[in-house]
Amino acid sequence: MIQKNVVLILGAGASQPFGLPLGKGLLSMILNVDEKTDEFRFLMNSGFDAMKINEFRSELRLAGRTSVDAFLETNEEFMDVGKAMISLLLANCEKGQKLYSPETEENWYQYLLEIVIRGAPPTEMDWSELSFVTYNYDRSLEFYLFNAIKRLVPVPDRNFSSVSALFSRIRILHIHGLIDNPKLSSELEGRGYGKIKSEEDLRRSMRSITIIHEKEKSTSSYPMVHALLSEAESIVFLGFGYHPTNMSRLEVVHHKRPDATVYGSTLGMTDSEVMFHLHRELPGNYEHKTTLGLLRDQLEIFYRT
């Protein structure tokens, strides 16, 4: 059972163990979509012009940005085809065999679930002290937790209403939206975990994701994030790239409690980068570890000592 108020801020690296790409990986996937691929043909059959698709890929390649989102913020003429590419390719990476496999390494979803349910009956799981703020469009977190919670409810009480009531206690805020509402049961609208198979699904997914512009910041999800940060005792960056724009919009220094502690995984960063880009602006406990490694080594994130 969690004893502190915790906000987990998720970047692409948090979803990577479950088969989803990092920002550079998604960019590479888009650049590899050409006339010979199923994805290119699907886009054309969904009403996208071949010349526009290729122009988008060419401009993206020449832009030298590290993510598709960053490119689209200053190249709005490619917004529709960009969102379509993001939706289609990320949905292709949503694979149940990876999400639910006992062989999946670095399964921090499973580890976190065990922390939440420890010391309490499953039907009394307390999620009130835990919030997720995610920059990811995928729905792996929702599907994993919903299906896990469903199997924790005793069979006589296992119905959609009871499981949904437990699941609704979990605060998951997708800052930039997500690739369609998770269809967690037949009672809900949306799309199941996996590939987009129709133009209708593609268009709905495109409408569900948002590329945030600086001028739109005041009407975005950030005020809700700032409210969560103001209550947190532990603020934890997991699989996060610490992009300057994202960090400036989070405004952690201005909104966090004076007694809050910041933690973060920095796998792939050098000591110098951590010092100059993180410690100077946002002092915290940063470790060159995976998401799971950080959570296991810093249990004070969740517990009072």
Per-residue pLDDT reduced to its tens digit, 250-293: 999 999 999 999 999 999 999 999 999 999 989 999 999 999 99
Report the candidate in 20, 160, 166, 39 with the shortest Cα–Cα distance to residue 96.
20
Structure confidence at residue 1 as a pLDDT band (50, 70, 90): confident
Tell me: pLDDT of 213 over 80: no
Give the contacts of 189 (CB within 8 A, at least 6 positions apart).
181, 183
Q: Which fold has domain 6-19+106-176+211-301?
A: Rossmann fold (3.40.50)
Task: Say yes or no to pLDDT of 185 above 90.
Answer: no
**Domain segments of the chain: what residues?**
6-19+106-176+211-301, 23-93
Give the global pTM: 0.94
Average pLDDT of every residue of the chain: 93
Length of the chain: 305
CB 52 within 8 A of CB 81: yes
Instruction: Give yes or no for residue 98 having a pLDDT over 60.
Output: yes
